[in-house]
Amino acid sequence: MDRANLQSPVELILDGEHLTPEQVYAVAQGTRVRLQIAPEARKRMEMSRAWVERLQESGQPIVYGINTGFGSKASVSISQANLRELQHNLIKSHAAGTGEPLPIEVVRAAMLLRAQTLVKGYSGIRPIVVETLLRMLERNVVPWIPAQGSLGASGDLAPLSHLALVLCKSPKAQSPDWSGQAYWYDETASQWVLLSGREAMERAGIPRVVLEAREGLALNNGTQISTALLTLAYYQACQLVKNADIAMAMSLEALMGITRAFREEIHRLRPHPGQLATARNIRRLIQGSQLVDTHPERVQDAYSLRCHPQVLAGVRDTLDYIRRVIEVELNATTDNPIIIPDLKEENRALSGGNFHAQPIAFAADFLAMVLCEVGNIAERRIFRLSDRHLNQGLPSFLCKNGGLENGLMIAQYTAAALVSENKSLAHPASIDSIPTCENQEDHVSMAPIAARKAWQILHNVQKIVAIELLFAAQAIDLRLEEAEKRQQPEQVLGAGTAVAYRTIRQQVEPLQVDRPLYADIDTLTRLVAQGTLLNAVEDKIGPLD
């Protein structure tokens, strides 16, 4: 599903067991989805819900979050008459986030993940509540959720409460109808509109629900915001490293580099899977190039060229680990208490800590760190291309009329600024903790902070790779203009790099005289982020590893 057509409907049957990062990405990016609860999942949900309803009627046994208060107030018993109000108060009071809103695609992913964990059938929630969440995705009602305010403690309490605020209504008719805010997709205007949650649901024709016992806690207790951010960042990072290989291959040609460093014989002797895959990608991209290996007096290139497979080895292998974490989390029960109908004892609710997002926090910090290195090594190649002392005979800043014209000088500054920003952002959030809730929640994961930082670094590195493509294409233009190289790009460049060069030049003209560069950088960033460049290359030479 790397190239899922997001204009076609995405159809999923949620069973709680088999959701993939690719499916999450497709639902997050699309506006046409069809979602159902699998029949076997519905049966599990009904079994756990039946036990909650018996408890709701009898008042026994005492179970956290069903007939008690929350957090440090777990010892406070709640009367049967107040169980509905208890759940609604939880959502109202916990909708306490702040800051800029999360991107719509992140919230859509979180909605899907919340539904997935609930259909596993261990949360005691009615199917109608999950079906309401699925209808919101289908009819494009997306809660407005502030990005800040979650510790990854009892899950992502504040942001998930903002989500639930749109879905639910007060059990008391005379009470204020706090519905939060939500985006609604106006198909006539083809744009998202921000409305009150109530109005968005009304426009979509979706009735809001009154929460019964356990259901508020089932909606806001879990890791879905952190996991949504990580999943989308992971998916895009996998595409980004392939784009980084393309940029590196173009730079190698522009710098008339040496290909012996990418031979399979070298990499078999240190067989990290990611190293082997990266070297293989470079060989395929430059196959047939007439620019490389043209200076036999040079025996080896600088590290930023020669060691690209070794650096990307750690990146790719870490991405494999992150995927394993995500796949577990996508299909896990992450709230509390967990209701297991098959237990033989009277109390079938087990209090635990599956909401604690430490695995997600570590994975997000790992992602941030490895993405930093993708940007770091790309910036070194950008610098090398810009420096006439290092770029194998090209002019300073790849500018023909240096002095009067400045060429790509400041684009390298931009890349350097992004690299430095990434270093600040990469400080691990997962090693921090701060106690909350009267010290009942005395160790927290900071997963949402780690995931948001990884998300920002991802987008910074997309821009750095775009700047390398800008430099490499300009350098290749200069090579092609040399007297003995007056040929078509396909006659000079490698099988993959020729396609990449053509794709870039369809969108961004060569730099003949100075012009503002921000539009070129933005255009190339979109080619990277939206998969346009990668798709063009893979259509020619087949999928990259």
Residues 463, 374: Cα–Cα separation, whole Å: 11
Q: Does the pLDDT at position 3 exceed 50? A: no
DSSP 3-state of 239:
helix
Q: Does the pLDDT at position 332 exceed 90? A: yes
Determine the pLDDT at residue 222.
93
Q: Which residue has the tokens 């030049």?
A: 505
Determine the pLDDT at residue 431.
92
Q: Which residues pair with 473 in a beta bridge?
A: none
Q: Does the pLDDT at position 176 exceed 90? A: no
**DSSP element (H, E) containing 147:** strand 146-148
* 413 a catalytic residue: no
What confidence category does residue 153 fall into, taking pLDDT thresholds of 50, 70 and 90?
A: confident
In what side-by-side order are the strands of the sheet with 141-143?
A: 141-143, 181-186, 191-196
Q: Give the residue-averaged pLDDT of 346-366.
A: 95
Instruction: Please name the amino acid found at residue 109.
Output: A
Q: Does the pLDDT at position 2 exceed 90? A: no
Q: Does residue 176 have a cis bond before it (omega within 30 degrees)?
A: no
pLDDT digits (tens, 9 = 90+) for 259-272: 999 999 999 999 99
Residues 163, 143: Cα–Cα separation, whole Å: 5
DSSP 3-state of 78:
coil
Q: Which residues pair with 35 in a beta bridge?
A: 12
Nearest CA to 111 among 64, 65, 156, 50?
156
> In angstroms, how far is CA 531 from the centroid of its own chain?
14
Residues 376, 468: Cα–Cα separation, whole Å: 11
**The CA-based dihedral angle spanning residues 107, 110, 116, 121, taken in that order and rounded to the nearest 10 degrees:** -110
Determine the pLDDT at residue 359.
96
**DSSP element (H, E) containing 233:** helix 224-254
Q: Does the pLDDT at position 6 exceed 60? A: no
Q: Give the residue-averaged pLDDT of 117-144.
A: 98
Q: Give the residue-averaged pLDDT of 206-223.
A: 96
Residues 319, 324: Cα–Cα separation, whole Å: 9
**Candidate list 25, 64, 122, 234, residue with the active-site label:** 64
pLDDT digits (tens, 9 = 90+) for 343-354: 999 999 999 999
Residues 105, 27: Cα–Cα separation, whole Å: 8
Q: Does residue 61 have a cis bond before it (omega within 30 degrees)?
A: yes
Query: Is-contact 528 462, C-beta < 8 A?
Result: yes
The domains found in the chain, sorted by start residue, are 10-222 (1.10.275.10), 230-335+354-435+445-541 (1.20.200.10)
Q: Does the pLDDT at position 177 exceed 90? A: no
Sign of torsion over alpha carbons 114, 116, 117, 122: positive
pLDDT digits (tens, 9 = 90+) for 474-504: 999 999 987 565 678 999 999 999 999 999 9
Determine the pLDDT at residue 265.
98
For residue 511, what is the DSSP state? -
Residues 206, 59: Cα–Cα separation, whole Å: 32
The C-alpha angle with vertex 143 and arms to 37 and 40, in degrees rounded to 5, equals: 10
> In angstroms, how far is CA 512 from the centroid of its own chain?
37
Provide CB contacts within 8 A for 89, sequence distance 6+.
Answer: 216
Query: Is-contact 479 492, C-beta < 8 A?
Result: yes
Determine the pLDDT at residue 74.
84
Query: Is-contact 120 40, C-beta < 8 A?
Result: no
Take residue 459 and report the two structure tokens written for it.
């987008």
> In angstroms, how far is CA 143 from the centroid of its own chain?
18
Residues 477, 481: Cα–Cα separation, whole Å: 6
Q: Which burial class, exposed, middle or buried, applies to 18 when counting CB atoms under 10 A from its CB (0-12, 13-18, 19+)?
A: middle
What confidence category does residue 130 fall into, taking pLDDT thresholds of 50, 70 and 90?
A: very high
* Paired sense of beta strands 191-196 and 168-169, if any: unpaired
Of 366-370, 405-409, 429-433, the range with the lowest mean pLDDT is 429-433
b/e sequence 433-455, b meaning 16+ C-beta within 10 Å: beebbeeebeebbbbbbbbbbbb
CA neighbours closer than 13 Å in the CB half-sphere of residue 478: 27
The fraction of the chain above a pLDDT of 90, given in percent, is 89
Take residue 311 and report the two structure tokens written for it.
């650096």
Residues 143, 194: Cα–Cα separation, whole Å: 9
Determine the pLDDT at residue 483.
52
Residues 360, 147: Cα–Cα separation, whole Å: 17
pLDDT digits (tens, 9 = 90+) for 237-287: 999 999 999 999 999 999 999 999 999 999 999 999 999 999 999 999 999
Q: Does the pLDDT at position 4 exceed 50? A: no
For residue 170, what is the DSSP state? -
Query: Is-contact 446 429, C-beta < 8 A?
Result: yes
Residue 325 main-chain phi, psi, to 5 deg: -60, -45
pLDDT digits (tens, 9 = 90+) for 74-121: 889 899 889 999 999 999 999 999 999 999 999 999 999 999 999 999
Query: CA separation (Å) from 42 to 35, 419, 543?
Result: 13, 48, 38
Residues 316, 305: Cα–Cα separation, whole Å: 17
Take residue 266 and report the two structure tokens written for it.
């070298």
Of 299-303, 326-330, 479-483, the range with the lowest mean pLDDT is 479-483
Q: Which burial class, exposed, middle or buried, applies to 397 when counting CB atoms under 10 A from its CB (0-12, 13-18, 19+)?
A: buried
Residues 244, 416: Cα–Cα separation, whole Å: 16
Provide CB contacts within 8 A for 43, sequence distance 6+.
Answer: 121
Determine the pLDDT at residue 75.
85
